[in-house]
Chains A and B, each alone.
Chain A
Amino acid sequence: MDRKKILLSGLLLGFLGVLLVRFGNPANMGICVACFIRDIAGGLGLHRAEAVQYLRPEISGFIIGAFLIALFTGEFRARGGSSPLLRFLIGMAVMIGALVFLGCPLRMVLRLAAGDLNALVGLVGFVFGIFIGVQFLKKGFSLGRNQRLHTANGFAMPLLALVLLILVVVAPAFIFFSESGPAASRAPILISLAAGLIVGIAVQRTRLCQVGCFRDLILIKDPYLLYGTIGIFMAALIMNLIFGFFKLGFVEQPVAHTDGLWNFIGLAVVGLGATLLGGCPLRQLVLSGEGDSDAAAAALGLIAGAAFSHNFGLAASPAGVSSAGQIGVLIAAAFLLIVGYVFSRSDIKVKRKGGVTREQNV
């Protein structure tokens, strides 16, 4: 039953991911958390790359959808305090990696389903990054426990998402809108928002996660989350074939480059970073809607990482990856490896009393 539900959610995501392209979103980018957060950073003027500036309503939809359904089901709970600064920095590193590949793990699946074989190279890197992350987890990696917080902490992110929605509708002069490039391709606001809300609700309910999918397979051989990824791929593949978007090959794929090495490294950084965070970028947004302010710190890190990537020329383009981008993503990888190492502890102390053995509170 659970597997059916997550498979259906995956199918829904894949379907919406291609439908949004039909309605005007960029090719193979119906939904992409990394690309859309980069567009939001541009829309707010945090970077001035003119082709990628638009306050994508889908992102607000993910957060608000998760928020509303979590309130409804009683799962909403304001919490935080598990290394928020490090989560912010890991979020930055993840975004640097994603913008070297040109997409988050979700877009990786959507690109694959459109025949873009560069995404296959990315997938191998992604799984490799997760594999490294799993080694840290096996050694006891933890960013520490979160704690319950004042409820208002949990409202901050959904309210920020609402502010972004108001800004994109009102369109005041200080908000940027691309006139050409990927961010000039956009579905109508209401359709984008509706799709975002549906995705937010579906992911909150089913815990769908691109990182968790491969992590759980490697770590505990649990295929539950894999059904979500398979669903996304199958629905997107069928939709791409129906709409004639499918084109098999490496060259001239939409908003993609063919540099295999950097596609591999870019998504390896995303895989490792997101494993340390406990979930893929989409999952971080959904958790932030459920009241998790650590996930919100990671999400804000994604925005900062996008601004940083474009301001310092790290982000790739269809022409390839700049040397600044290559150095940047290697620094991001080194940073993640250090975090993984520093926060891994091998032994958990236990206390015995009578017939009861209790782990010390670490």
Chain B
Amino acid sequence: MSKTYELDVRGLSCPEPVIRVKKALETNEGQLTVLSDSYVATENIRRLVGTLGYHCQTDTNDNEEFVLTITKEV
């Protein structure tokens, strides 16, 4: 069974969202889902996981928030 780790970085100042995502990726295997409400944090997270070799899919939810689904690139 695949495991999911959920992270809520809404309302956090720079660069806390990136630090939390990095830490979560280092300590967990499987899929990481991140909830973000800021364009800047979302861009920064996408850039970070891109350089670390992960795949990131970004969707928006009904509250105009971003849902990032981060998985290991196959």
Contact = CB atoms under 8 A, between A and B. Distances in A.
A207 B43 contact: yes
A355 B15 contact: no
A357 B3 contact: yes
Contacts of B2: 355
A39 B15 CA distance: 31
Nearest to A353: B6
User: Which of under 10, 10 to 19, 20 to 34, or 35 or more describes the interface residues of A?
Assistant: 20 to 34
Interface hub of A278, A294, A356, A357 (most chain B Cβ within 10 A) = A357
A358 B3 CA distance: 11
A145 B37 CA distance: 11
Interface stretch (A174-182, A214-222, A330-338): A214-222
A359 B14 contact: no
Interface residues of B, number: 28
Nearest to B18: A220
B16 interface: yes
A219 B51 CA distance: 14
A358 B6 contact: yes
Contact of A355 (B1, B10, B19, B24): B1
A137 interface: yes
A146 B11 CA distance: 4
Interface of B: 1-8, 10-16, 18-20, 22, 24, 28, 37, 39-40, 43, 47-48, 51
13 contacts: A75-B39, A137-B16, A142-B13, A146-B11, A216-B15, A220-B19, A220-B22, A278-B15, A355-B1, A356-B3, A357-B3, A357-B4, A357-B28
